[in-house]
Amino acid sequence: MTVRKARAKTAGLLAIGGLMAGALALSALDFAWMSRPSLAQTLPSPPRRPSNTLAPDPQDALLPANAAQNAAKGKLPPADLQQIRVNAARLDQEANAAYQARNIVQAYGVWFRALRLLQYAAEEEEIVALGRIGAKAWGDGLAVESQAIAQRLLVLDQAIAPQTKTVAAEPEPRAQTIAIQEKLALAHEQVGALDPAIARYEWLLAQDPLGSNQSAPNPRLITKLAQLNLARLNYPDAARYTAIQREQGRSGSPAPALTQPSASPEAPPSETQLTETQLTERLAYIYEQNGQWEAAIAQQQKLLERYSLPQPAILQPNLAQLNPAQPNAGQAPPTLSKRPALLVAIGVNQAKAGFDTAATQTYQAAYREAQAQQQFGVSHEALANLALLYEQRSQHQDTLTVYTVLLRVDELSYNVFGLLQTYENMGQLQVKLGDRDAAQRALSQALHLAKLLDYRVTEIQTQLAALEAPSP
């Protein structure tokens, strides 16, 4: 073996030895590293999400000593009550600050802690706080928090229920019971619990049926019950209370406007009053929603007498005269009447009630009044409903006549979508009547408009293709 080869062999052995030593050193380091606690183990645990539960917490450090035991005995000292109120108020300030800083989770966690404290205070104070914070949670779309507060209110409702069965005759206890029920009803309403809110307000109405004037049902409660039953889609009761509202307005006791519950119970009520016309409109709407077509028509007929009919505008044949960008100089535009649209609504209800002849006459009257005032959208609606009614009665020639008039109305108002729909309806009807040529002309016009609008082109092309195919 040469010296050069010996040196190379020695260098190789040294290199291998160095690599093995390095590997052993790395293994030792790895073992040492693995044996040490991880970074996550050395860091403090992240703050726990505040528990938004309303289960009592007798161990809360903000409660006075023995508060839970004393509260269970009904003997919480006044000093302890005051301490609870002060601590709850401080928590409320802290929650508001967190809420303003957009720390929503933290804010509601603090608010719920304040609510748990107030469970050891008077029921009335807890109810007010539940309503106030519940209204905020309801407005923020927080379902879990809203439901927890609603459930707590139901627990309080059941606890207070025995008091409502035998209201004390003495003025002071009676007034106290009624005051708690008022706050409980409002709190239910604020968290969107409509059924218990309606039940509380009905109880209050039974206790104070005449209100302060002692001559008519309590207007404030009647208004509230009308509002809540309508929101609850309880249309029969909504109609009943709304009718009472209107009668009270006629007798000089106008009902307050229907407003959403305020987040603050102390907020003053709205000064705006609903007029008899507004209540009649609401009543007609309720009857329509409940499918009471004849009752709705009766209310709408009353509205017709109230809606003033302005001086009709003259329909000019020159389309330039109809350009809204070119009003008559020095003349204010005429006030549009609500009558044409109301007549269309009456016609729809008459058709639903089976009064086809009356509906036909009503649609025609609506069209005449709408045209006189250049309310072309209402004119279109009246004629479209009239054509549908004629077609349902198989009065096909009358239907085509109405479609012809409807085309002229839509041309005057540049209603391209209306023209497209009318030409398509005409074509479909003429197909039924066997007039293929007329149907092809109408559907070709519809296809031209559909291409202009880039709307329903394929559907109309399919109809035309089926029409142009040879008959079997």
CA 41 centroid distance within chain = 48
Task: Give the confidence band of 168 by pLDDT, cuts at 50, 70, 90.
Answer: low
Average pLDDT, the chain: 82
Which two tokens mark 422? Answer: 């009318």
Q: What b/e readout covers 82-100, taking b as 16+ CB neighbours within 10 angstroms?
A: ebbeebbeebbebbeebbe
**How far is the C-alpha of 116 from the C-alpha of 113, rounded, in Å?**
5
**How far is the C-alpha of 115 from the C-alpha of 133, rounded, in Å?**
9
Instruction: Indicate the residue type of 398.
Output: D
pTM value? 0.77
Q: What is the pLDDT of residue 162?
A: 76
Max CA pair span of the chain = 131
Range of lowest pLDDT (157-171, 182-196, 264-278, 311-325): 311-325
Range of lowest pLDDT (136-150, 172-186, 351-365, 405-419): 172-186
Q: What are the structural domains, with CATH classification, of the chain?
A: 67-283 (1.25.40), 292-309+336-468 (1.25.40.10)
The predicted-structure confidence for 291-347, as pLDDT tens digits, reads as follows 999 999 999 999 999 986 544 443 333 323 333 333 344 444 457 899 999 999 999
Q: What is the pLDDT of residue 152?
A: 97
**How far is the C-alpha of 298 from the C-alpha of 266, rounded, in Å?**
40
- 258, 274 contact by CB (below 8 A): yes
Range of lowest pLDDT (11-25, 233-247, 271-285, 419-433): 11-25
Query: What is the rounded average pLDDT of the residues 128-150?
Result: 96
Task: Give the confidence band of 155 by pLDDT, cuts at 50, 70, 90.
Answer: very high
Q: What is the pLDDT of residue 139?
A: 95
Task: Point out which residues pair with 273 in neighbouring strands.
Answer: 256
**How far is the C-alpha of 378 from the C-alpha of 342, rounded, in Å?**
10
Share of the chain above pLDDT 90, in %: 62
Q: What is the pLDDT of residue 257?
A: 44
User: 3-state SS string over the chain?
Assistant: CCHHHHHHHHHHHHHHHHHHHHHHHHHHHHHHHHHCCCHHHHCCCCCCCCCCCCCCCCCCCCCCCCHHHHHHCCCCCHHHHHHHHHHHHHHHHHHHHHHHCCCHHHHHHHHHHHHHHHCCCCHHHHHHHHHHHHHHHHHCCCHHHHHHHHHHHHHHHHHHHHHHHCCCCCHHHHHHHHHHHHHHHHHHHHCCCHHHHHHHHHHHHHHCCCCCCCCCCCHHHHHHHHHHHHHCCCHHHHHHHHHHHHHHHHCCCCCECCCCCCCCCCCCCCCCECCHHHHHHHHHHHHHHCCCHHHHHHHHHHHHHHCCCCCCCCCCCCHHHHCCCCCCCCCCCCCCCCHHHHHHHHHHHHHHCCCHHHHHHHHHHHHHHHHHCCCHHHHHHHHHHHHHHHHHCCCHHHHHHHHHHHHHHHHHCCCHHHHHHHHHHHHHHHHHHCCHHHHHHHHHHHHHHHHHHCCCHHHHHHHHHHHHCCCC
- Best CA proximity match to 77, nearest among 86, 90, 89, 64: 64
- 419, 410 contact by CB (below 8 A): yes
Residue 25 reports pLDDT greater than 70: no
Q: What is the pLDDT of residue 11?
A: 46
User: In Å, what is the CA distance from 187 to each residue of 131, 198, 234?
Assistant: 4, 12, 20
Query: What is the rounded average pLDDT of the residues 200-220?
Result: 78
User: In Å, what is the CA distance from 467 to each residue of 328, 433, 442?
Assistant: 48, 13, 12
The predicted-structure confidence for 230-264, as pLDDT tens digits, reads as follows 999 999 999 999 999 999 887 665 445 444 444 33
- Best CA proximity match to 447, nearest among 471, 469, 466, 470: 466
Share of the chain above pLDDT 70, in %: 75
Decide which of 328 and 219 is more confident.
219
Decide which of 248 and 1 is more confident.
248
Residue 137 reports pLDDT greater than 90: yes
